[in-house]
Copies of this chain bind each other. A is one copy, B any other.
Amino acid sequence: MKSLQQSPAHSLDYLEGEDGIRVPVTSIKLDASPDGTPNPPFQAYRTVGPGSEPERGLPPLRAEWIQAREDVSAYEGRERDLLDDGRSAVRRGAASDEWLGERRAPLVALDGRRVTQMHYARAGTVTPEMRYVALRENCPVDLVVSEVAAGRAIIPANINHPESEPMIIGKAFLVKINANIGNSAVTSSIAEEVDKLHWATLWGADTVMDLSTGDDIHTTREWILRNSPVPIGTVPIYQALEKVNGEASALTWEIFRDTVIEQCEQGVDYMTIHAGVLLRYVPLTADRVTGIVSRGGSIMAGWCLAHHQENFLYTHFDELCEIFAKYDVAFSLGDGLRPGSTADANDAAQFAELDTLAELTKRAWTYDVQVMVEGPGHIPFHLVRENVERQQELCDGAPFYTLGPLVTDVAPAYDHITSAIGATEIARYGTAMLCYVTPKEHLGLPNRDDVKTGVITYKIAAHAADLAKGHPGAHERDDALSKARFEFRWRDQFSLSLDPETAEAFHDETLPAEPAKTAHFCSMCGPKFCSMRISQDIRDAYGSREAQEALAGMAAKSQEFLEQGAKVYIESIPVGAPGA
């Protein structure tokens, strides 16, 4: 399969690093400026990977790197259990669409070894994954190593998911976004989910979570992992719950543990674990407007209530750490008590759980297991910042991974927007990864269009936060697009945008003719009324040396004004003005 492209002006290119490391980028061809000056192709961060035939999957990019470390061995793995694919698979003796591509024996750490990127970083070992990431982020590899060692960044990279292209999640790096896909009891085929995976990464998803809760959970995940160039996350309690016929009270540590190992062997890169929902926190939610809205949180709360026992994910947390260290699975510590309405934001239940997540973060680090911490939810805009600052302080800078947050509850069908507002704010202050929200949030399951809208909306939030953080180079795409806009290079505006096809389609609704795309005006004002053209005249007028000197004088004068600030005019307020 040819790799998907967003636009005919885009093509796959590579950054070439040391030791043969090659990082794919999207090369965006640009036209020359009107004065004939060529514009070099723009190289953009690329998540869609090299492209795969779904039936065959991707080549195992990292396989040699993993083997070269000589700290893993292949083993037979857990026996196939048809119940992994749900009761209909048991009935029919197979999943509805078995994976027929290559099946590699699962790898596991040699006895006594830890095979996590955090372990290597702490030991001062610079892995190819770290070098790949440094090239991809255009930063020194030392920064990658030190941030991973300190737990302030993670490289989700299960040794059984060698197909993934290494990426890093941490506040010193570009803000990342996650897209959720997955079937439900109601809908959708395996092929559709693989398509959504590729679709989400085409538009920029940095990781994908498979949140399937319907049939064929195991096999859907197999197809997704074998075809995914990005890390895959899951919420294993969803599958465990399916195995006990949906009865939360029937869950056990043993069933959960078995599900986790099943997923470790398949190659899941990070797992949401709701270990912070402690029995004693559950009553704190009783007076909320919207109680517990996290599915995982409510399952564990339900279990705690049914058994009057402490959450087994908490009591068995060290065992989970031991398992994760053997496969390099990262924790995504779930915020099961996140607020489901702005009324419940930043309350005792939410922050009590965060305290526990901080404790668990540090416990996982003693096993060299990588950790990120999940965050809310629904938070009014002025309370957003406190969430990330508190999390960063309590969790010693472990990456924060938030869902939005939504800054108002009144706009179902627009919650990609209500949440992108909160997402920009929370990322600006240090959230490392944003979980997208689609227009269907609260209402239904996202379709292909919703996935795209969600991803692009979150690329906007992540990129706006990168700009606000002054991330090196983040402004280059904005500047290239703005320059193209000013020079009426319409095609370049489209191809530099986050969604070239929609930008072009919108343009064409008003001025469809091909020449309009090279016209030195646009559909809003027409040829006579064009502010951009007048600006060009100004630039032409002030291009002379005389004018340049005048300009210099003006600039100095203006600077003087700015330095004096309001004072100039405050002293000259006309008598009788109010508020003086």
> Which chain B residues border A550 with CB–CB below 8 Å?
283
The distance in angstroms between the C-alpha atoms of A381 and B509, with both chains bound, is 31
Contacting pair A342 B478 (CB below 8 A): yes
Beyond known contacts A394-B565, A394-B566, A414-B460: 19 more, CB 8 A cutoff: A150-B578, A286-B542, A286-B543, A302-B537, A305-B537, A340-B486, A343-B482, A359-B572, A362-B577, A366-B575, A382-B469, A394-B569, A407-B464, A408-B464, A409-B481, A410-B497, A412-B493, A418-B464, A420-B420
The distance in angstroms between the C-alpha atoms of A475 and B344, with both chains bound, is 12
Can you list 19 A-B contacts (CB < 8 A)? A184-B523, A283-B547, A283-B551, A284-B555, A291-B535, A291-B539, A293-B531, A342-B467, A348-B555, A366-B577, A381-B425, A382-B467, A396-B578, A409-B479, A409-B482, A412-B497, A417-B457, A425-B425, A444-B510
Contacting pair A498 B410 (CB below 8 A): yes
Contacting pair A529 B185 (CB below 8 A): yes
Q: Does A290 contact B (CB under 8 A)?
A: yes
Contacting pair B529 A445 (CB below 8 A): no
- Residues in A208-258 with C-beta less than 8 Å from chain B: 213, 241, 246-248
Contacting pair A151 B578 (CB below 8 A): yes
Contacting pair A292 B531 (CB below 8 A): yes
The distance in angstroms between the C-alpha atoms of A477 and B341, with both chains bound, is 11
Leading 9 A-B pairs by shortest Cβ distance: A291-B535, A444-B510, A341-B482, A298-B531, A246-B528, A298-B534, A381-B468, A382-B468, A283-B551
Q: Does A314 contact B (CB under 8 A)?
A: no
Contacting pair A551 B291 (CB below 8 A): no
- Residues in A304-324 with C-beta less than 8 Å from chain B: 305
A side interface size, CB within 8 A: 159
The distance in angstroms between the C-alpha atoms of A254 and B80, with both chains bound, is 87
Contacting pair B284 A551 (CB below 8 A): yes
Beta-carbon nearest neighbor of A447 in chain B: B509
Q: Does A483 contact B (CB under 8 A)?
A: yes
Q: Return A450 CB to nearest CB of chain B, in Å.
A: 9
> Which chain B residues border A241 with CB–CB below 8 Å?
529
Residue in B284, B408, B482, B554 whose beta carbon sits within 8 Å of that of A289 in the complex:
B482
> Which chain B residues border A481 with CB–CB below 8 Å?
409-410, 412
Question: Which of A10-18, A69-77, A350-358 touches B?
Answer: A350-358
Q: Does A22 contact B (CB under 8 A)?
A: no
Question: Which of A104-112, A259-267, A435-443 touches B?
Answer: A435-443
Question: Which of A32-40, A54-62, A556-564 touches B?
Answer: A556-564
